Amino acid sequence: MGDIVVLVKPSLNPDMTRSKPDGTVDLDAIPLKLDDIDANALEAAKELKNTLGGKIIALLLLPWGPVQKRTRELKMVTQEALARGADEAYIVSDEKLLPGDPIITATVLSNAIKKYAPNASLVLVAEASIDQTTGQIAGRVAAKLGLPFISYARKITINGDKIVAERDVEDHIEVMEASLPAVVSVTQEINEPRPPTLLQIRRAGKKPQKTLSAADVEPIPERKKEPVEYKILTVSRKQIIIEGDTLEEIAEKLIEALEKEGVL
Amino acid sequence: MVDAIIVASSVQEVKESLSAVSSLGDVEVLFYGKNTDNAAEVAKLGVKVYVLKSQHPGALFNAVKKLYDEKKPKVIVGYGTKNNRDALSRLAGTYDLPMATDVIGVEFKDDHIIYKRGFLSERAIATEKIPYPAIILVNAKVFEPVQREGSGNIEEITIEEDSVKLLEIKPKQLSGINLEDAEIIVGVGRGFKKKEDLELAFKLAELLGGQVGASRPIAADYKWLPEDAWIGISGKRVAPKLYIAVGISGAPQHMAGVNNSKIIVAINKDKSAPIFKLADYGVVADLYQFLPVLIKKLEEKKGK
């Protein structure tokens, strides 16, 4: 049967958001991490690997620069993807592709899949990333590869040359069936990713990985998204801590305050 | 010449999307899914309505693509529902169209679009610029729904599904609560040690005439409450006049869902919890001790 490609995003870690004195986001100072739901996608790949009989290929693209500064972080994300079950990794890293634009990202990833994973029978993608949360890469890649697409899968089973997935829509579940090869986006509910063991981490270093430049994944489309400004969100709440000698007193003061606000 | 096509599965989505594109010219609507019986209500907004009586994501993609090919609109707009994201991300990939999601503000200029959206799990606001034609998916409850009277044509379209088969539709266990319309919401988080203890929150909500919502662990991971009670980036976004966060630490993914509340109250025993910086009023106390007292005081007031 075939290989499983997992798209892995080195995302800006929102928990480490840094700002400049003028209140804008200091993008270069925020470290990258393996995106949260990518861990679920890798776990899902591990579970399906035996059924499909191939290997797991992690495909990464650096979306945030500068390349020089990100080299070490990118290496760590790659190591983690390999420790989490990928058998080999391809990493696209090139100043020409920065900053990430979904049009460029999806095209580059699709080109890389065609060229470096020709035997892929399944492409797994997280439903969205933690930094941009646009959730559009999976659908774009499916369209570019001309493959069947199932989005928001929270359960996947392989049935011969078909995949059956439970698609999680807002108020119901749709059981969908597609022929392989297919592109599937997964939600965080699909599994509970196991943290890699020490042995898996050690082995990861010995697994094959190849860094690609823009020239390896051409043609590259024209960039369409231009950043104007990234500003830190400031919330202006009153932040009043209600204190008192007893809980009764605090409760009374709270009720009084809420009545004054006209919300009770 | 059609300037914008709205892709929507409810009347409310159409009204808010119309508001988002109010500075553009002619607008048409692709109305799909299970609420298509309401198509006449959409037509009354004075727009042409194409009705697709299907909720198959592949059928929706094919319908959107057909309309896009025929009408060549400058903008496709709608909510960021899962079906919209599914179909429109495929359209974006087909034609390399820029696609902005979770948009909270948009300006249509002569030769480009400028929009604002949440960034870094809502810790920041991104302002970005894209050319036409483009796809814009807006957040719910951001744009004031348009109210107007008119009459538009309704045309039903039939379209092939793609090769993916929809085998079965299974219901989710839902509470049926419409949190989006609640004026007072009591939000429950991991501070609650077991499911039965949520009774305290329900009692408080009942006294206040409100509803109970939850953070991700409670609704999605432990499943102590149905999924439609989940408030946050991936859950619901609510805007009550009063939000009482009980045992909620204040993770940005959750707070993004409640930031539009008028007043936020936090009850948490950990005085260093981030929620206290994101709330108007804070009570540093163990919820198991404080809620019974608060409930008693409210009952006394009611009794008067």
Position B47 pLDDT exceeds 80: yes
Hey, of B119, B137, B178, B295, which one would you mutate to test binding to chain A, going by the most A CBs within 10 A of its CB? B119
Position A260 pLDDT exceeds 80: yes
**Do residues B102 and B138 share a domain?**
yes
The mean pLDDT of A61-77, rounded to a whole number, is 97
**Do residues B198 and B142 share a domain?**
no
pLDDT of A236: 80
- Residue B141: pLDDT band with limits 50, 70, 90: confident
Residue A46 domain flag? yes
Position B132 pLDDT exceeds 90: yes
A202: domain CATH number is: 3.40.50.620
Position B176 pLDDT exceeds 80: no
Q: Which domain holds residue A245?
A: 234-264
User: Domain tally for chain B?
Assistant: 2
Q: Tell me if ipTM is over 0.85.
A: yes
Residues of B in contact with A254 (CB under 8 A): 265, 281, 283, 294
pLDDT of B175: 75
Residue that is written with structure tokens 């990928």 in the block: A86
pLDDT of A59: 98
Q: Round the average pLDDT of chain A to a whole number and report it.
A: 96
Between B241 and B173, the more confident residue is B241
The mean pLDDT of A102-124, rounded to a whole number, is 98
Judge whether B186 and B197 are in contact, CB under 8 Å: no
pLDDT of A235: 74
Hey, of B90, B183, B287, which one would you mutate to test binding to chain A, going by the most A CBs within 10 A of its CB? B90
Helix (H), strand (E) at residue B211: strand B211-214
User: Are B242 and A229 within 8 A, CB to CB?
Assistant: no
Residue type, A129: S
Spatial separation of the C-alpha atoms in residues B264 and A93, rounded to whole Å:
44
Position B174 pLDDT exceeds 80: no
The mean pLDDT of A65-73, rounded to a whole number, is 96
Q: Round the average pLDDT of chain B to a whole number and report it.
A: 94
Q: Which domain holds residue B299?
A: 179-303
Residue type, B70: E
**Do residues A48 and A165 share a domain?**
yes
B70: domain CATH number is: 3.40.50.620
Spatial separation of the C-alpha atoms in residues A17 and B123, rounded to whole Å:
8
**Do residues A43 and A160 share a domain?**
yes
Position B304 pLDDT exceeds 70: no
3-state helix, strand, coil in chain A (%, to 5): 35, 30, 35
**Do residues B284 and B185 share a domain?**
yes
**pLDDT tens-digit map of A185-235:** 999 989 999 999 999 999 999 999 999 999 999 999 999 999 999 999 887
pLDDT of A16: 93
User: Domain tally for chain A?
Assistant: 2
Residue B170 domain flag? no
pLDDT of B122: 85
**Do residues B113 and B58 share a domain?**
yes
Spatial separation of the C-alpha atoms in residues A54 and A255, rounded to whole Å:
62
Give the pTM.
0.90
- Residue B181: pLDDT band with limits 50, 70, 90: confident
Residue B14 backbone dihedrals phi, psi, to 5 degrees: -65, -45
